[in-house]
Amino acid sequence: MQPEPMSGVHAITNGEFEGRGVFVSGGTSGIGAAVARAFSAVGANVVILGRRPEAGAVIVDQIRSAGGACEYVSGDIRRSADIERAIEIAQQGGGLRAAVNSAGIFDRSVLFDDYSDEAWDEMIAINLTGVFRCLRAEMKAMKAHGGAIVNIGSSVGHRGSLRGSPGYVAAKHGVIGLTRQSALECAEGTIRVNSVSPGPTLTDMAAPLVAEGPDAVRAAISQLNPMGRFVDPAVVAAAVLFLCSSAAEGINGADLAIDGGQLAKL
């Protein structure tokens, strides 16, 4: 028995992910975990790559308990061999039909004068170079049979930010650039590459603010998001699922803002 799909999602995917392999980097928490759950709900064999085995075991157990198929691979997107190993497992699970590059880290605003070489190098290595390495392996794996890839960007990939660090903002701009460049390379084939740019999202990092109550959330978020609330990771996951489906077959090299109107306000 497959887990209950999100409203409307099953109709969009029309069973096309049933028994097919899906790779999700950073699938142990936040948006990545929501994406893993969404694909499992429509019958995909999901392989998640992450650095936290305990968190990975929790997600796998949740998905399997709901009737889905999921496997956790311990690894780091800074190592090409780890990525390739996880993708090979996804290939064996029905052929790699979709890949979602969600792994990333966040550091809060730091002035350029105080931003260390080490902080910059780590941010770029994970949030940008890691996406490049994933894309390279995914495109190679999909070359023979096609597929769809979605990179998880950010609304700060379109602008500056007083919340994010120089490295984070630069990396997310770079993710959108990689999306466009890889989409161009794939344009004449059967692989599509797109990205989504969420605004402030209801992940573990938002917990302290959420604990202060809805009024505190509205006061803080409404300065950015005209809707005055966090983006739900499940909403991002639904958009990712759509972009990977044949319903979006004409969409390639695009970035979809999921930010409650944040970028429209600027």
Cβ 9 vs Cβ 44: under 8 Å: no
In total, how many domains does the chain have?
Answer: 1
Which tokens sit at 127? 């949030």
pLDDT tens digits, one per residue of 136-189 = 999 999 998 999 999 999 998 998 887 789 999 999 999 999 999 999 998 788
Evaluate whether residue 10 is within a structural domain.
no
Q: Report the percentage of the chain scoring pLDDT > 70.
A: 91
pLDDT at 55: 95
Q: Which of 151, 132, 202, 194 is nearest to 24 (CA)?
A: 151
Evaluate whether residue 119 is within a structural domain.
yes
Evaluate whether residue 5 is within a structural domain.
no
pLDDT at 221: 73
Evaluate whether residue 138 is within a structural domain.
yes
Evaluate whether residue 4 is within a structural domain.
no
Q: How confident is the model at residue 1 (pLDDT cuts 50, 70, 90)?
A: very low
Q: Report the percentage of the chain scoring pLDDT > 90.
A: 70
Evaluate whether residue 266 is within a structural domain.
no
Residues 6+ apart with CB under 8 A from 36: 24, 27, 46, 48, 59, 63, 70
Cβ 204 vs Cβ 4: under 8 Å: no
Whether the model pTM is above 0.85 = yes
pLDDT tens digits, one per residue of 196-212 = 999 887 777 666 666 77
Average of per-residue pLDDT values in the chain:
90
Evaluate whether residue 153 is within a structural domain.
yes
**Residue that is written with structure tokens 């996951």 in the block:** 237
| pLDDT over 90 (residue 265) | no
pLDDT at 163: 75
Average pLDDT estimate for 108-112: 83
Evaluate whether residue 74 is within a structural domain.
yes
For the ranges 44-48, 163-167, 245-249, the lowest mean pLDDT is seen at: 163-167
Highest mean pLDDT among 39-43, 106-110, 153-157, 163-167: 39-43
Of 223 and 58, the structure prediction assigns the larger pLDDT to 58
| pLDDT over 80 (residue 266) | no
What is the extent of the structural domain holding 82?
Answer: 18-261
- CA angle (139 as vertex; 75, 95 as ends), nearest 5: 75
Q: Which residues are catalytic?
A: 168
The DSSP-derived string for the chain is -PPPPPTTHHHHHTTTTTT-EEEEETTTSHHHHHHHHHHHHTT-EEEEEES-HHHHHHHHHHHHHTT-EEEEEE--TT-HHHHHHHHHHHHHTT-EEEEEE------B---GGG--HHHHHHHHIIIIIHHHHHHHHHHHHHTTT-EEEEEE--GGGSS--SSB-HHHHHHHHHHHHHHHHHHHHHTTTTEEEEEEEE-SB-SGGGHHHHHT-HHHHHHHHTTT-TT-SPBPHHHHHHHHHHHHSGGGTT--S-EEEESTTHHHH-
Q: Which CATH number characterizes residue 24's domain?
A: 3.40.50.720
The C-alpha atoms of residue 85 and residue 80 are separated, in whole angstroms, by 9
Cβ 47 vs Cβ 93: under 8 Å: yes
